[in-house]
Amino acid sequence: QQPVQSPQAVILREGEDAVINCSSSKALYSVHWYRQKHGEAPVFLMILLKGGEQKGHEKISASFNEKKQQSSLYLTASQLSYSGTYFCGTESVANFGNEKLTFGTGTRLTIIP
Amino acid sequence: DVKVTQSSRYLVKRTGEKVFLECVQDMDHENMFWYRQDPGLGLRLIYFSYDVKMKEKGDIPEGYSVSREKKERFSLILESASTNQTSMYLCASRGSQWGSPSEKLFFGSGTQLSVL
């Protein structure tokens, strides 16, 4: 079963902040985040592991709440280059070691000047 | 630069044809994946392979098969293409998780398949 992402789409002005959520019904040991620009391949942003670790990458950071099986991606002071579709990918504890990575339905982020 | 290469960017086929989508990676990765991407449905896993000649069903394997005869090449086969298989197909690869909790995926640019 796919993780659920919210919102499905969001439009922001340059400089505004955004939060994208990813929720799973399964116990997770990792959450991946990727960004896909129109017509291009998805590109890796970061991985969060079981343990509630928060990671950062420039003005993009993420958290993982393993008790709630949720992850959130935070984009602060958004730039035009942040536009694209964001996907979370999850690996469940039950499938640990079998390499299966399941993606969510995606969140389309549009940044306008 | 690491690379995952999909043989065709666009492909048009007729209903009932046998279709082969090819993917090659140059990173010596053990694991390779086929996803399909549809609007509103995100990326859905069709099949994956963790070693040569080894394969596992993903979440939507019906109507598809795969082949992995060499480590660097992973093929997706549509035995008899149908219109509901019109989609963007993405191949991905990553290294083994042994010694590392999780490895990132590298994606190819995708093949947009239209079945008429």
Q: Tell whether B97 is within 8 A of chain A (Cβ).
A: yes
Check A105 against B42: CB less than 8 A apart.
Answer: yes
Structure confidence by residue, pLDDT tens digits, B62-113: 999 999 999 999 999 999 999 999 999 999 999 876 656 678 899 999 999 9
Check B48 against A104: CB less than 8 A apart.
Answer: no
Long-range contacts from A61-69, C-beta under 8 angstroms, 24+ separation: A62/A31, A62/A33, A64/A28, A64/A31, A66/A27, A66/A28, A68/A23, A69/A23, A69/A24, A69/A25, A69/A26, A69/A27, A69/A28
Is the peptide bond between A7 and the residue preceding it cis, with omega within 30 degrees of 0? yes
What does the pLDDT read at residue A55? 67
β-pairing, A102-103 vs A84-92, is antiparallel
Which residue from B minimizes the CA distance to A9?
B40
Q: Which two tokens stand for residue B65?
A: 């098969």
Check A41 against B108: CB less than 8 A apart.
Answer: yes
Calculate the average pLDDT of chain B.
93
Q: What is the mean pLDDT of residues B36-58?
A: 93
DSSP string, A68-80: TTEEEEEE-S--G
Choose the closest CB to A104 out of B42, B48, B109.
B42
Q: What is the mean pLDDT of residues B40-59?
A: 92
Q: How many residues in chain B?
A: 116
The per-residue pLDDT string of chain A (113 residues; one tens digit each, 9 = 90 and over) reads 789 999 999 999 999 999 999 999 998 889 999 999 998 999 999 999 887 666 666 789 999 988 889 999 999 999 999 999 999 999 988 777 777 889 999 999 999 99
Choose the closest CB to B104 out of A2, A47, A99.
A47
